[in-house]
Amino acid sequence: MKGTAKTKALSALFAVTMLSATSIFYMQVVKAGDSLKDDGLPSGISKVKVKPATDDGPLDEIISGWHFRSKETKNLQQDDFENPGYLWVEQGEELWATKDGSKGKSCKSCHDDPAKSMKGVGANMPKWDAKLKRPLTLEQRVNTCRTQGLGAKEWKWESREMLSMTAFIRNLSRGMPMNVQADGPMKPWVEKGKNIYYTRVGQLNMSCSNCHEDNYGKNIRADHLSQGQSNGFPTYRLKWQKIGSLHRRFKGCMKNIRATPYKPGSDEFVALEIYLSQRGKGLEIETPAVRN
Amino acid sequence: MAKSKPRVKAPKSASKGDIVTIKTLISHIMETGLRKNKKTGKIIPRRIINKFQAKFEGTEIFSVDIDTAISANPFFQFSMKAEKSGEFEFIWTDDNGEIYTKKSKLTVS
Amino acid sequence: MKDLSRREVIVLGSTAAAAIMVSPTMAFAEAKPAKALLEKFTGGKSIATGKIKLEMPEIAENGNTVPLTFTVESPMTEKDYVKRVIIIAEGNPRAEVATFNFSHLSGVAKASSRMRLAKTQNVVAVAELSDGTFYMAKTEVKVTIGGCGG
Q: What is the CATH number of the domain that holds B49?
A: 2.60.40.10
Which of C 29-68 lie inside 8 A of B, CB atoms? 64-66
The model's confidence at residue B35, banded by pLDDT at 50, 70 and 90, is: confident
Question: Between vectors from CA A259 to CA A255 and to CA A260, what angle results, nearest 5°?
Answer: 90
Residues C81 and C104: beta-carbon distance below 8 Å: yes
- Chain A contact set for B92 (CB, 8 A): none
From the list A19, A76, A239, the residue facing C149 with the nearest CB is: A239
A82–chain B Cβ distance below 8 A for any pair: yes
More confidently predicted of C22 and A226? A226
Question: Which range, of A8-12, C39-43, C144-148, averages the lowest pLDDT?
Answer: A8-12
From CA A80, how far away is CA A290, in angstroms rounded?
11
Q: What is the pLDDT of residue B2?
A: 55
Would you say the ipTM is above 0.90?
yes
The ranges assigned to domains in chain C are 33-143
Weakest-pLDDT range from A47-56, A75-84, A223-232, A253-262: A47-56
Best CA proximity match to A133, nearest among A87, A186, A67, A91: A186
- Please state, in angstroms and as integers, the Cα–Cα distance from residue C35 to each residue in B69, C32, C40, following that order: 17, 9, 9
Cα dihedral A82/A85/A87/A89 (nearest 10):
-120
In this prediction, residues A176-196 reach a mean pLDDT of 96
Structural domain that includes position B3 = 1-25+35-78
Q: Which residues of B37-53 are buried (b: 16+ CB within 10 A; e: fewer)?
A: eeeeeeeeeebbbbebb
CB-CB: which of C57, C61, C148 is closest to A220?
C148
Q: Which residues of A touch C16 (CB under 8 A)?
A: 11-12, 14-16
Q: Which residues in chain B (64-83) have CB-CB distances under 8 A to chain A?
A: 71-73, 75
pLDDT band at A223 (very low <50, low <70, confident <90, very high): confident
A155 touches chain B (CB under 8 A): no
- Is the pLDDT score of C24 beyond 90? no
Q: How confident is the model at residue C146 (pLDDT cuts 50, 70, 90)?
A: low
d(CA C121, CA C137) in angstroms, rounded, equals 14
pLDDT of residue C149: 54
Rounded-to-integer distance, Cα C85 and Cα B76, Å: 14
Does the domain formed by A86-171 have CATH 1.10.760.10?
yes
| Count of domains observed in chain B | 1
Higher per-residue confidence, A56 vs A291: A291
Vertex A124 angle, CA A121 and A127, to 5°: 100
Is A107 catalytic? The answer is: no
Residues B54/B90, Cβ–Cβ less than 8 Å? yes
Task: Give B26's contacts in chain A (Cβ within 8 Å).
Answer: 87
What lies within 8 Å, CB to CB, of B104 at 6+ separation is: B8, B10, B12, B87, B88, B90
Q: Do the domain assignments include residue B63? A: yes
Q: In this predicted model, what pLDDT tens digit does every residue of B37-92 receive, in sequence order?
A: 888 889 999 999 999 999 999 999 999 999 999 999 999 999 999 999 999 999 99
Question: Beta partners for C84?
Answer: C101, C128
CB contact, 8 Å: C61 with chain A?
Answer: yes
Angle formed at CA A43 by CA B108 and CA A71, multiple of 5 degrees: 100
Please check whether residue B42 lies inside any domain of the structure.
yes
What does the pLDDT average to over A94-102? 95
Domain residue ranges in chain A: 24-79+177-291, 86-171
Better pLDDT: C144 or A4: C144
Whether residue B65 contacts residue C98, with contact meaning beta carbons closer than 8 Å, is answered with yes
**Residue B66 forms contact with C (CB below 8 Å):** yes
Q: B26 to chain A, minimum CA–CA distance in Å?
A: 8
Q: Nearest to residue C95, comparing CAs of C142, C32, C141?
A: C32
Inter-chain contacts counted by CB atoms under 8 A, chains B and C: 94
Please report whether residue B56 resides in a domain: yes
Residue A39 has pLDDT above 80, yes or no: no
Distance CA A66, CA A40 (A): 10
Average pLDDT over all residues of chain C: 81
Task: Please name the helix (run of DSSP H) or strand (run of DSSP E) that holds residue A97, with its range, or none.
Answer: none
- Please give the average per-residue pLDDT across C32-45, as a whole number: 86
Angstrom CA distances, C22 to A35, A71, B32, B40, C9, stand at: 37, 34, 21, 22, 21
Residue B97 covered by a domain: no
Q: What is the mean pLDDT of chain A?
A: 87
Contact between C54 and C123 (Cβ < 8 Å): yes
- What are the tens digits of pLDDT across the range A234-268? 999 999 999 999 999 999 999 999 999 999 999 99
DSSP A31-92: -TTTT-------TT-S-SEE--SSTTSS-SSEE-GGGGS-HHHHHHTT-TTT-TTHHHHHHH
Task: Please list, in sequence order, all residues whose beta carbon lies within 8 angstroms of the beta carbon of residue A147, skipping any fewer than 6 positions away.
Answer: A153, A154
Q: Which of B62, B66, B75 sits opposite C106 (nearest CB)?
A: B62
Residue C1 distance to chain A (closest CA, Å): 10
Q: Please indicate if any CB of chain C lies within 8 Å of the CB of B57.
A: no
**Is there a cis peptide before residue A264, judged by omega within 30 degrees of 0?**
no
pLDDT at site C3: 46
Does B31 lie at the interface with C, CB-CB under 8 angstroms?
Answer: no
In this prediction the pTM is 0.85
Q: Quote the pLDDT of residue A17.
A: 42
* Contact: C113, B64; criterion CB under 8 Å: yes
Q: Given a cut of 60, is residue C19 above it in pLDDT? A: no
User: How many A/B residue pairs have CB atoms within 8 Å?
Assistant: 31
Q: Which residues of C touch B67 (CB under 8 A)?
A: 94, 96-98
The nearest alpha carbon in chain A to B77 belongs to A82
**Residue B21 located in a structural domain:** yes
% of chain C residues with pLDDT over 90 = 66
- Would you tell me how many other CB atoms lie within 10 Å of the CB of residue A51? 12
With a cut of 50, say whether residue A172 has pLDDT above it: yes
Does domain C33-143 fall into CATH 2.60.40.2470? Answer: yes
Q: Per-residue confidence at A224, pLDDT binned at 50, 70, 90? A: confident
Give me the pLDDT at residue C32, please: 53
Helix (H, G, I), strand (E, B) or coil at C35: helix
Identify all chain B residues contacting A242, using CB atoms and an 8 Å cutoff. Answer: 72-73
Give the separation between CA B78 and CA A27, rounded to whole angstroms: 42
Which chain B residue has the Cα nearest residue C66?
B71
Report the amino acid identity of residue B37.
N
Q: Looking at residue C27, what is its pLDDT?
A: 36
Give the separation between CA A286 and CA A276, rounded to whole angstroms. Answer: 15
pLDDT digits (tens, 9 = 90+) for C92-120: 999 999 999 999 999 999 999 999 999 99
Mean pLDDT, residues A137-157 taken together: 96
Chain C interface mutation, best of A13, A14, A19, highest count of C Cβ atoms under 10 Å: A19
Over residues A172-194, the mean pLDDT reads: 96
Q: Is pLDDT of A221 > 90?
A: no
**Amino acid in the structure at residue A6:** K
CATH architecture assigned to A24-79+177-291: Orthogonal Bundle (1.10)
**pLDDT for res A18:** 41
Q: Which of A51-65, A157-171, B40-54, C41-55 has the lowest mean pLDDT?
A: A51-65
β-pairing verdict for B13-14 and B99-108: parallel
All residues at 6 or more sequence positions from C128 whose CB lies less than 8 Å from its CB, including other chains: C41, C42, C82, C83, C84, C85, C86, C134
Please say if the pLDDT value at position A10 is more than 60: no
Chains with ≥3 Cβ pairs under 8 A against A? Answer: B, C
Same fold, A24-79+177-291 and A86-171: yes
Task: Give the one of C76, C101, C116 whose C-beta lies nearest to B71's C-beta.
Answer: C116
